[in-house]
Amino acid sequence: MTTKPCVLIVDDDPVIRELLASYLLRDGYQVHCAETAEQAEDRLLEFPVDLVMLDIRLPGKDGLTLTRELRVRSEVGIILITGRDDEIDRIVGLECGADDYVVKPFNPRELVSKAKNLVRRVRHVQALQPQAKARHLKCFGDWALDVDRRRLVAADGSEGLLTQGEFQLLSVLLRNAGHTLSRDQLMDQIRNREWLPNDRSIDVLVGRLRRKLNDDPADPQLIITIHGAGYLFSAAVSSRQ
């Protein structure tokens, strides 16, 4: 029997914790709560967790530090909860490896929808890991994208996990290889993400993808910046199992 998905809510505001917990419990999730990053680390040792909903502004260790530490050792889904004026923190959060973010004040139903989509992908990746199934690969240059496992595969066979945002952006670029896409077009094709005016998240995700692809930002060969227009993925793309 499939166990209920488990979410850890980390926020020092009891009203937000109770609000999110009530919506998630109503949708059949297991829910644990913590007021601080230190409490969250204790909970993560006690329970297997699919998703962490994490406030950036926490007493003691902040949410960005916890995000960075979690991503080093875990593939758990991470959704950051940020203030509307925390643009820099949102960008840093994505750079630290968060999968998504929501901005206060938020609609709890939209947040639950984000949680559902992210938990589905996290569990799908976990289910495939112990199995030697044929892989669906999108190949380009010296790289391949393992579509089912959300992993980037190098020519030597080494693998690296992509965050949800990185995976979605790379998938869009691969589908549109050879065509210039504006930032607005890229934003429109990345599902289930809240965008704000002058949002720089696309640029952040492009920067992270370039680093993971060893694509020199000063002279990129794969993800080309078309000044005043957007981004172009220049490599030919093929599929194989």
Q: How confident is the model at residue 198 (pLDDT cuts 50, 70, 90)?
A: low
Residues 6 or more apart whose CB falls under 8 angstroms from that of 130 comprise none
Distance CA 155, CA 141 (A): 9
pLDDT for position 238:
93
In this predicted model, what pLDDT tens digit does every residue of 85-99 receive, in sequence order? Answer: 777 888 888 888 899
Residue 195 has pLDDT above 70, yes or no: no
Dihedral pair phi/psi, residue 27, rounded to 5°: -90, 10
- The residue that leads in pLDDT, 84 or 78, is 78
pLDDT for position 1:
43
Residue 132 has pLDDT above 60, yes or no: no
Dihedral pair phi/psi, residue 210, rounded to 5°: -60, -40
Residues 6 or more apart whose CB falls under 8 angstroms from that of 82 comprise 55, 56, 89, 90, 93, 101, 102, 103, 104
Domain annotation for the chain: domains and CATH numbers: 6-128 (3.40.50.2300), 137-240 (1.10.10.10)
Residue 24 has pLDDT above 90, yes or no: yes
Share of the chain above pLDDT 70, in %: 90
Pick from 51, 60, 109, 107: which is nearest to 80 by CA? 51
Residue 31 has pLDDT above 70, yes or no: yes
Sheet holding 230-233, edge to edge: 180-181, 230-233, 223-226
Among the ranges given (61-70, 140-149, 189-198), the one the predictor scored with the smallest mean pLDDT? 189-198
